Every structure is written in C-alpha cells, then in structure tokens.
Amino acid sequence: MDGATAWPDRGDLAVAGGLAASAFAAYVATGYRHVPGGDAGELIGAIATGGVIHPPGYPLYALLGHLFALLPAGSLAWRVGLLSAVSGALASGVLVLVLAGWTRSRWAAAAGGALFAFAPGVWAYAIGAEVFALDNLFVALLLLLAFRYGETRDPGFAYAASAVFGLGLCNHQTLLFTGAPVAAWILWTGGSEWTPRRLVGLAGCLLVGLTPYLDLVVEGRHAAAVTWGATQTWPGFWTHVLRREYGTFRLSVLPSHADGVSILGSFVRDLHGQLDWLALGLAVVGAAVTMDETRKRPGAFGTVCLLSPLVSVATFAALGNLPTGDALHREILARFWQQPEIYACAFAARGLSNLGKGAPRWRFAIPAVSSAVMLIQPLDHLAEMDRHDSDVVERYGAEILRPLPPGTLLLTRGDLITNTVRYLQVAEGLRPDVRVVDRELLAFPWAVPRLRALYPELVFPGAHYAPGRDGFSLAALADANLAHRPVVVCGGTSTEQDGPTGYDAFWPLGLCEAVRQPRAPLAALPEPDVDAWDARSAAALPRIDFRGQPHPPGSWEDVVWGDIWAARQARALWLLEAAGRDPARRRYLVEAVSALEGIVAEDPRPPPQIWRSLAMADGRLGLDTPAERARTADAWRHYLAVAPAWDPGLPAIRSELERLEAPEPSPR
C-alpha cells in the first residue's frame, strides 16, 4: 500500500474521507431542489403520508427517508434526495477502502473511487430521491466486510456481512447479485470452520437485518394517499415482498422478453458512457490480472469481483424484458448497471496498480494517471449532471393540475404523471380538491377498497378496473361520476387498456383531456360550446420555460418536453375536427394551421405526424393559388423526409406532391 503495512491506516481513511466529502459536495451542488421524474414522486409521497412504496416496499429506504424528511431546511424533495447524496458519497469512500486493501495502492484506490463516484450513471441517482445510491453503499459495505474476512478469517466480519446483506435487501433486492456470491465465497473459503452453530448464527444475523420489512405491516394499515398493496395482511405482505403484482425481473408490462443480446449491448454501451477509453483499458487489464490470480489462488477475493457482475448482467440479459429500442427505456434499464459498473471501476483500479509491476520505471505513471482521473472525471460530467435549477418535472405536474375545475376526478396513467401530481398534493399542498386515481393501480383487488376509504365521495362501479373482462371500464367509471364532478383523463387512452370510451371525443385540456358530454360528433356541436372550449384549451396549454434547463434524450425532462408539444398538437387536431367540412367553420381550420405552423417553427425535432397534419390542413384551406399549393407541397416534402417506411399512404402522398409541383398550364 505504497509502503504501508496496516490496513486501513490513517492515510487510507483520509483518502476515503476526502473522496467521499468531494463526492458529497458535488452531489449537493448539482442535486435536485425540486421533485425529479420517475419513481421519486411516489417515494417522497409515500414517506410524507406514511404509505407503502411499490413492490417490494423498500422499507429501509422509507425509514431512513422519514429521518431525512425531518431536516429543517429545503423542500421535501431536496431533504429526501439528500439521503441519496449521503449514501452515494459514503459508497465511494467505502469503495476506496476496499480498493486500498485489494490493490495496495492509495493512488489506484482513489482513482477507482473517483471513476465510480463521478460516473454519470451513478451521479444521476445520487442527486435525487431514489433507492440506487443506498444500494451502492450496501454493495461497497459487503465488499469491505468480505475483504476483511478474507484477510483475517475472523467470523465477526462474516456475521456483520450477513446482517448487512439482510439490511440491504430491505432497500433493494438486486443486492442479491453481490450478496449471494459473497455468501457463497465466505462459506467456501471458510470450509470446515463453519460449524452448524456458526451457520445458525449467520442465518440469525440475516434475519435481524431483514426486520425493517415488518414496517410494511405497520404502514399498510394507513389509508394513505400514496400507497400500494394490502401489506397489513399476511397474504398481501408476501405478495408485496415477493413482487407478485409488480413482477420479479419484469421491468415492463409487455408480456414478451427483450432480446438478451440487445440487453448485453445496452450494458456495453452504458459502460462506455461511464468510463473513457483509458479507464476501460485499465479495467480490461485489471480483470485479466484478477482472473490470473484466481486461477493460481482459487478462493482469492477477486473471485467475488469476477462473479458478481457476471451474475448481475447475465440475469438481466436472461430475464429482463424492457425494450431497448428507445432512449427512455435504455435509461430505465441503465439504473441496474450501476452495480456491475462498481466492479468495472474496481478492475480499473487494479489495472492501474499493476502498471509498475515488472517495470518499476513506470510506477511514476500511477500517481499521474490517478490525479488525471480524479480531476477529469468530475469536471467532464459536471455540466451535464447539474440539476440544481431543474424544476421542469415539478412544473409539469403543476401544469397538469392548474386548469382542472374544482373537485375534478383525475384519472391518470404513467409514473411521471401520477407520481409528480401526487407529490405536489401531499408535499406542496397543491390542489388538494382534485381526486387523483391511477388507472393502472385500479386493476389490483386492493385498490378500490382503499380508494373508497380515502375518497368516499367517488363512485366505483365494480370491484376492479378490467375493461372487457370481469371489471369496469373507463366509460363506466366516468359515467358513474360525471353527474357529481368533472372527469379528466391524463396519460392517454387505448381500447385494450380502457375499453371503448363511449365518447366520440374528449375536450383537450392542456396536458390532459376532459371527458365531455353530450356524446355527439364534435363538428355537430353548437359553435358557442366549441368557442368556449377553444378558449379554455388555449388557456390550459402548458407554460414551461426550458431555457437553461437540460432535457437529454432518455431523461424524464425530455418526456416532459415531448408531452408539451404533444399537447399543442392535440389541440390543433381537435380544431381540425371542430372545423369539419363546414365552410362556416373555416376560422377553426385557420387556427389549426396556425397552431401547427407554430409547432414546426419552434420545436427543433417535430414528429413526422405534425408535417402530415399540416399538409392535410393546408390542403383543406385551399389549393387555388400557387402560394397555397407551394405551402402544401413544402409540408408534404418535410413529411416524406421523415415519414416511417410502414406508412401505407406514402405512394398516394408522392403522387399528390407531384401534382402540386406540376407547372400550371399556360392560359390560352
């Protein structure tokens, strides 16, 4: 250890503490002050209301979150998010201690810790309310205890590792990918010293670590606004803990599995995004050195470092079913690559420490490379990770709530919508009059009884939401409540998931749609009604300023960006429908064209459908003059440039474009 004989000594602790402090400062400086997207709103909302988080419940995170929520400063989102910053920083410090012992080089250990702490995928989950930074801390603690056990053969470290394993499972069950190999390695290397009495001791420590799961029984008794499951009952408890409703190794509601090769490719691409070529090269060297060491000394600590990431990546490749075809799904999957990437950073440190072996003149390179890594890694990603001013997601939720009439029944779908709105209600006190009901949760048998207790004024026309099967549909739910309150749908509808709506159309209401009556074609409604809703829909369009706020592809902020433009498009299409073919309603057609032209002028990446809609609307306005024909032809050209190949109308569109571009016949 650069001459040190004891481990960890004061120098090791100083390096570990210094890196942890630096990481914590970076996380706090760049962390969200407002609610992030994804599960954050649900996590914070459940903590605020004493509810149960989605399966498997994450009870340790909830218990610690309650403590951080008591801090006297900042928003609730910032206070709970601080738990991630503390956990991520401690994880990096503990990893430095592990690497200092394993590599016997403080420089290499510091470099490995910095690669991990400031990798963008790790950093992203240390600056907001999420469970993954705490999971990383437990991985690092298990590695530290396993290494100490390997060095000393002291069973106390094994007992501690067993308790830490159980406690960590109360935060995130993917800790199995490290905990199971560590447990197997300890039992294997310990051999006959693990007598039946000691094995019982290990099992007891594991059970003690698992006791936070009992909190699910307590919290399940509350009629909380943000909660999941029936964990107050024995069957409901095991259903929740074993993820029977949410699906173990099931990241998507889609029934088919994603291709394992594509998931492996996703991991490789993400790894390259976390580490530069130098670090990846060092990691390859370190992995090769470790494999050679374990070949010569079976049972060496490196066995755990080789086995754990293989188990993790192989499990997700075999059983994960989340599609990887778009940026958002890839980013959701990337959350689970943090654990195997811990080992990539460890191998990079091992590779760096190996530089001077066999060639002492190269030992000077270790401090130089380490210093460069510790400087470049955080600076390289600082700007892209800064979210301290990002309020896009929170404003998105506020814009959903803003135009809703008093007492609205808001039927939501999707984590971003439901979690953000519920956070704003329970944490910020915004629009408590709105009754938020998640249509996806309504499918579970425990949901309707809980909602009836929470909102006795609502009417549920059945035991659960299951359109087309044995439950009620969206139309039935809306009909049961429309006489008493406005009903608004947010998150879209589909016949498969919601059943036939029974409504010819919805009124566009910003980011949502209001269920309307009477059920008549929009073009047949009286113009005063259409005019009134035209004004309401214009006022309800979301007002979110993205200037200076990042929204990289795959981020929840980018989903908000897309939804804003989709809301404007939906209103334009609604105006086209309102215009119909009646010349007297031409003003709606003109307004629709103006709205579509505004989208293509302001949105830097308008979807293909916008150009198609604009071309059709231009054509309906008239093709009598060269200018009108040129405008319509230009819209069709833009559409053809980005149109999906599966569009069956492409031949007809090309023919129409040729007709529009044909020269006018000369007058006789």
Query: What mean pLDDT comes out for the span 538-556?
Result: 90
Confidence of residue 3 (pLDDT cuts 50, 70, 90): very low
Strands 512-515 and 435-438: unpaired
> For residue 625, with 0-12 CB atoms within 10 Å meaning exposed, 13-18 middle and 19 or more buried, which class applies?
exposed
| Least confidently predicted of 135-149, 420-434, 484-498 | 484-498
**Same structural domain for residues 422 and 332?**
no
**Same structural domain for residues 22 and 122?**
yes
Domain assignment present for 407 = yes
**Same structural domain for residues 462 and 334?**
no
Name the residue with higher pLDDT: 35 or 666. Answer: 35
pLDDT at position 527 is 84
| Least confidently predicted of 180-194, 229-243, 513-527 | 513-527
**Same structural domain for residues 372 and 460?**
no
> Which DSSP string corresponds to 60-113?
HHHHHHHHHHT-SSS-HHHHHHHHHHHHHHHHHHHHHHHHHHHHS-HHHHHHHH
**Same structural domain for residues 513 and 470?**
yes
> Which DSSP string corresponds to 587-625?
HHHHHHHHHHHHHHHH-SS--HHHHHHHHHHHHHH---S
What are the angstrom distances between the C-alpha of 623 and each of 101, 575, 582, 611, 629? 78, 20, 17, 17, 5
**Same structural domain for residues 407 and 280?**
no
Domain assignment present for 410 = yes
Domain assignment present for 178 = no
Segment 408-431, tens digit of pLDDT: 999 999 999 999 999 999 999 999
**Same structural domain for residues 460 and 565?**
yes
The rounded distance, in Å, linking the Cα atoms of 185 and 319 is 24
| pLDDT value at 7 more than 70 | no
The rounded distance, in Å, linking the Cα atoms of 355 and 286 is 10
Boundary-marking domain end, from 386, 402, 426: 386
The rounded distance, in Å, linking the Cα atoms of 128 and 81 is 4
pLDDT at position 2 is 46
Segment 43-65, tens digit of pLDDT: 999 999 999 999 999 999 999 99
pLDDT at position 583 is 85
Domain assignment present for 85 = yes
Contact, 414 vs 42, CB < 8 A? no
Query: What mean pLDDT comes out for the span 231-260?
Result: 76
Q: Could you tell me what percent of the chain has a pLDDT over 90?
A: 70
Domain assignment present for 65 = yes
**Same structural domain for residues 375 and 333?**
no
| Least confidently predicted of 168-182, 385-399, 621-635 | 621-635
pTM confidence score: 0.92
pLDDT at position 261 is 81
**Same structural domain for residues 428 and 562?**
yes
pLDDT at position 233 is 94
**Same structural domain for residues 298 and 419?**
no
pLDDT at position 5 is 46
- Residue-averaged pLDDT of the chain: 90
pLDDT at position 202 is 97
Number of domains in the chain: 3
Contact, 577 vs 505, CB < 8 A? yes
Domain assignment present for 52 = yes
The rounded distance, in Å, linking the Cα atoms of 548 and 545 is 9
Name the residue with higher pLDDT: 261 or 92. Answer: 92
Locate tokens 């990383």: which residue? Answer: 136
**Same structural domain for residues 365 and 317?**
no
**Same structural domain for residues 279 and 294?**
yes
Domain assignment present for 118 = yes
Range(s) of the domain holding residue 418: 393-572
Confidence of residue 321 (pLDDT cuts 50, 70, 90): low
pLDDT at position 667 is 58
Domain assignment present for 397 = yes
